[in-house]
Amino acid sequence: MVDSIKISKLSDMEAVLVRIQAGEDVPVELLDFTGLKKLQIKIYGDEEKYNGTLPSSLCYGLCDFQNELLKTYALIRYKTDNLRHLKNVDRELLEVVFEIKPGCTDLLASLTDFTKACGDAFSKMTHGMTGTQKTACMILLILSISGGVLVHSTIEANHDVEVQQIEASKEKEKAKSENERLIILRDGMLQAIHKDNQPGSDAQVIANGITEHSAKAYEGLLKPITDADKVVVNGVSGKVEMSQRQVQEFVSNPTEKLEHHDKLISVEIDGIKRSPDKLTVNCHEVGHETGFVVYVDLSFVEEEEVEEEEEEEEEAEEEG
């Protein structure tokens, strides 16, 4: 019997990445999430507002957080983030219960059940994905929902200040080190997903969805508390401390800024999926096996052009 892999801290996920990079197949079924520490969100500020209390605006933020997690699960389990596809049993299984402690508004939430449900969903659904991609996506999910999506914002916001401040406290240096490790780990998992991609695989779509919904989850949670003095998020990904300015900057830009480089390449289309507002095009560069995904916003495309493209694809499939 193959031993399970306990995931309870950052080093556990780094060990999984090392095995993946060595070419080992690590099935998602081996990951054990029972030891995951609770997600802790501490909100400091006005004592009348953030002293073991839950303002109504924050209630809405917690609902937004929960809904984005539900969308992530729906995407994995049902290949769509439309919540109408979730069953009552799904919602009961995925409910996140927050515990509030006094002193500041200290929220504690166990994500073990949610994480386990997503792991089971990966086991049941193939999405055309390899075992390595499923595991990499699962690690990416844990990193993201436990605060990892906040790191890019805090690093960018801190950069100019750190250049001017040569000496920093040991605690800040430790947090910086954890954040750097987290980014390396995240990038490694994304590379594994991209490298192992096969024609028709939904791996890139799932990975993008995980990152997007995790960012929106924290956007919804932080939006009602932009007046807080600071927010500290502590989970399996490590500790992320955000000042009021950093919280405001994240809410205004919850997703990581992309670098744009113009390049003209020849591609072959492996498949096109259509939704009401966009086309998802799976393709790969000519002469290369690695695929990637292109999204086409249908609001900028005439209906006739979409129909012509679909007809050409059907003809190509018939000829093949």
pLDDT tens digits along 111-146 = 999 999 999 999 888 778 999 999 999 999 999 999
24: helix, coil or strand?
coil
What is the mean pLDDT of each successive set of 10 residues along the chain, which is 320 residues long?
Answer: 84 94 92 91 90 89 95 93 92 88 86 93 86 94 92 54 42 65 90 79 90 95 95 90 94 71 77 80 77 75 61 55
pLDDT at 289: 65
Selection from 241, 226, 215, 219 nearest residue 42 by Cα = 241
Contact (CB, 8 A) for 100 and 54: yes
Count the neighbouring beta carbons within 10 Å of the beta carbon of residue 51.
15
pLDDT at 306: 58
Selection from 122, 179, 102, 121 nearest residue 146 by Cα = 179
Backbone dihedral angles phi then psi of residue 305, each to the nearest 5 degrees: -65, -40
**Cα 233-104-246 angle, rounded to 5 deg:** 45
The b/e string for 78-109 (b: 16+ C-beta within 10 A; e otherwise) is: bbebeeeebeeebeeebebebeeeeebbbbbb
> Beta strand 5-6 with 31-32: parallel, antiparallel or unpaired?
parallel
pLDDT at 125: 83
pLDDT at 285: 81
Q: Is the pTM of this model over 0.85?
A: no
pLDDT at 166: 36
